[in-house]
Amino acid sequence: MSRIRLLPDIVASQVAAGEVVERPPASVVKELIENSIDAGARKIEILIRRGGISLVRVVDDGCGMDRDDALLSLERHATSKIRSAADLAAIATLGFRGEALPSIASVSRFRLTTREPNAIAGTEIIVNGGKIDVVRDGGEAPGTQVEVRSLFYNLPARRKFLRSENTESRNIEHQLQLQAIGHPQIAFSFVRDTRLVFQLPPAASLHDRIRDLYGNELLERLLPVSGAGLDKIEISGLVGRAGLSRQTRAQQLVFVNGRAVESPVVTAALREGYHTALMKGQFPVTFLFLKLDPASVDVNVHPAKREVRFRDPTAVREAVVNSIRRALEGGRSDWQEKFHAPAAPPRPTIGTTAKIPEAPPRELPQLGGALGERYNVVAGVADPGRAAAKPDELPSRTRTQGDSSPRQFQIIGILNKLYVLMENADGLVLVDQHAAHERILFEELRRRMEEQGVPSQKLLIPQTFDLPPRDAEWVERNLSILQKMGIGIEGFGPNTFKIDSLPAFLQTSDPISFMQRVIDDLKSASDSSSALRLGEEMIAMTVCRHAVKANDPLRYLEVEKLIQDLLECDLPYCCPHGRPTMIQISLAELEKKFGRKV
Ligand code: ADP
Ligand code: MG
């Protein structure tokens, strides 16, 4: 008796579902969205219930299908995207395997409604566990709607492997972010259970899409990247400035011909490109787009199409490394050029990181007071004793990075106890001490947190405080982040917390009201912005802002030191919230104001 048997189609589909639906339910979402994108959708709406386990629904306004095609789309190996093996050599669509719909339909309660834009009626098809139960007229708006309910209801063994609703929701949200970033021109909305998580209008550019999705805070820390390489490789996108890093690869997004991929070749190239700009064990933030001739990249190497194989990996590596290096160099030098600022000194190595400023003050000349003394500031070297330079000795416009001239900025005095007035080659530079201090603290804090070593200071007497349950819950959830920032806080009974130490840079006499203000701020931030944006970074920003407010800006710090520390920052030109730290009023503007020149 023969032992070998052909598998019935449904079983074959269920087997294939193991690969296609490799990370369920996020991969269901991925496959459906890819189909919508391939169908030319301008708008895609995604709804999930219970982490996608009970329902995933994707609605698009794409080309739709007629009844024959709709039925065919559920057959194994049915695709409109390739016709012959030769087409595999140059795939321009996201899908091509013709496996997703039948696989998904074989392991769920599946409903497809679809209508072509000019058709009078559409089609509705209901499939349960791979068996077509209903085919009838249906489908209201042009486009396609797919509902996937009760994933793996007929395969209890696989259902057991689903993780918690929260984990699955997070995976789905990540998947959606990938698609949304990869296709800025398409509108996306995402509803999780009853909550609208995001609604993204069609964006004119990647820049706008990132702003809509992650906010200005992240955008401000990105640099444009571009480049080209052998084998007609083109590189574009936005990547994190030096100093911006993450503990996971979740925001290291790489797209090859519009497809989000995980490519060891590109990952290694990114690491090489960032080199010292990235700490060990950290990952860069990238929104990197590679465009290649479809024939030089094989996308048919992974069932979920997550990996790709490059025909010329070396060319890809070189192009990526070069474009990242150029982007990083460009970032600071834009600002340097504008303000005639010095180049940043080499980054201190881990363990010897500079000082969080604590030095007692030295009085600086207030405006209207003694103006005889001036201070020359360059990054890494403050030289207060030096006499004022004559204007003709000032560095000329053409001098740039690597210039050994010591006189980029000369401090003239302080205006209104807040603004530092300085002179540079172009005229007057005003620095907002608050904003500058916030920036310095923020970068310092971030660096220390990455090294797991924010110095903290014990309070003489530990203090306890109560919070309303909602706030308490928030604090509870973020306890480890707060502790990482040097805030010695722990639970002390229901809704009660104890503080026994604070970060050393924080010189407040009232830790409780400090904490209360931080919590209030963060709460309102988490109400108003998408949950995506709240995290370590936001908390660090808020702590820094209140730390600065708690201090008297003039007393806590020597001003030269402040400027010097500012110049050593990765992003000296704006505070963590994106406001400028310094502005320039050029001599030309002054001349105009005084009517010397028209
Ligand atoms: P593939 O995407 O690899 O071709 P699928 O099983 O995902 O395979 O889909 C099969 C076919 O069904 C596609 O080739 C396409 O023609 C059609 N299709 C699937 N989803 C949609 C959609 N949202 N809009 C229009 N056509 C679709
Ligand atoms: Mg597909």
Residue 502: beta bridge partners?
457
Residue 206, Cβ neighbours under 10 Å: how many? Answer: 21
Coil, helix or strand for 586?
strand
* Nearest ligand, measured from the Cα of 91: 1
CA of 100 to the centre of ligand 2 (A): 5
Task: Find how far residue 538's CA is from the centre of its chain.
Answer: 12
Q: What is the mean pLDDT of residues 377-398?
A: 37
Report the chain's C-alpha Rg in angstroms. Answer: 29
Q: What is the pLDDT of residue 532?
A: 36
Sequence-distant (≥ 6) Cβ neighbours of residue 73 within 8 angstroms: 65, 101, 112
Average pLDDT of the chain, as a whole number? 81
Structure tokens at 49: 């219930």
Q: Is the pLDDT of residue 70 over 90?
A: yes
Q: Is the pLDDT of residue 402 over 70?
A: no
CA of 129 to the centre of ligand 2 (A): 19
Coil, helix or strand for 77?
coil
Instruction: Provide the residues around ligand 2 (an ion) whose CB is within 5 A.
Output: 35, 95, 100
CA of 103 to the centre of ligand 2 (A): 10
Q: What is the pLDDT of residue 280?
A: 59
Distance, CA of 288 to CA of 321 (rounded, Å) = 12
* Nearest ligand, measured from the Cα of 144: 1
End-to-end CA gap in the chain: 102
The more confident residue out of 534 and 262 is 262
Least confident of 191-195, 244-248, 436-440: 244-248
Question: If we measure between CA atoms, which residue out of 115, 112, 182 comes closest to residue 142?
Answer: 115
Residue carrying structure tokens 């209201």: 140
Residue 554 confidence class, pLDDT cut points 50, 70, 90: low
Least confident of 345-359, 460-474, 565-579: 345-359
Distance, CA of 190 to CA of 193 (rounded, Å) = 10
CA of 35 to the centre of ligand 1 (A): 5
Least confident of 164-173, 229-238, 403-412: 403-412
For ligand 1, atom 19, name the residue with the nearest CA: 35
- Alpha-carbon distance values, 164 to 32, 147, 161, 170 (Å): 22, 21, 10, 10
Sequence-distant (≥ 6) Cβ neighbours of residue 3 within 8 angstroms: none
For 75-104, write each residue's pLDDT tens digit.
888 888 888 877 877 788 888 888 899 999
Residue carrying structure tokens 């730290």: 581
Coil, helix or strand for 422?
strand
Q: Are strands 187-192 and 43-49 parallel, antiparallel or unpaired?
A: parallel
CA of 194 to the centre of ligand 1 (A): 28
Q: Is the pLDDT of residue 381 over 60?
A: no
Residue 535 confidence class, pLDDT cut points 50, 70, 90: low
Residue 24 confidence class, pLDDT cut points 50, 70, 90: confident
pTM more than 0.85: no
Q: What is the mean pLDDT of residues 479-506?
A: 88
Residue 51 identity: G
* Nearest ligand, measured from the Cα of 103: 1
Q: What is the pLDDT of residue 33?
A: 97
Q: What is the pLDDT of residue 372?
A: 37
Q: What is the pLDDT of residue 157?
A: 81
Q: What is the mean pLDDT of residues 408-427?
A: 87
Residue 65, ligand 1, Cβ within 6 A: yes
For 207-219, write each residue's pLDDT tens digit.
999 999 998 888 8
In ligand 1, the atom with minimum distance to the C-alpha of 96 is: 3
The enclosing H or E element of 102 equals helix 100-106
Own/partner long-range contacts of 538-543 (Cβ < 8 Å, ≥24 apart): 538/217, 539/478, 539/481, 539/482, 539/485, 540/442, 540/445, 540/446, 540/449, 540/485, 540/576, 541/217, 541/438, 541/442, 541/576, 541/577, 542/518, 543/445, 543/485, 543/487, 543/503, 543/506, 543/518
Least confident of 22-31, 55-64, 193-202, 302-311: 302-311
Q: What is the pLDDT of residue 525?
A: 63
Residue 180 confidence class, pLDDT cut points 50, 70, 90: very high
Percentage of the chain beyond pLDDT 70 is 82
For ligand 1, atom 14, name the residue with the nearest CA: 79
Q: What is the mean pLDDT of residues 30-37?
A: 96
Residue 81, ligand 1, Cβ within 6 A: yes
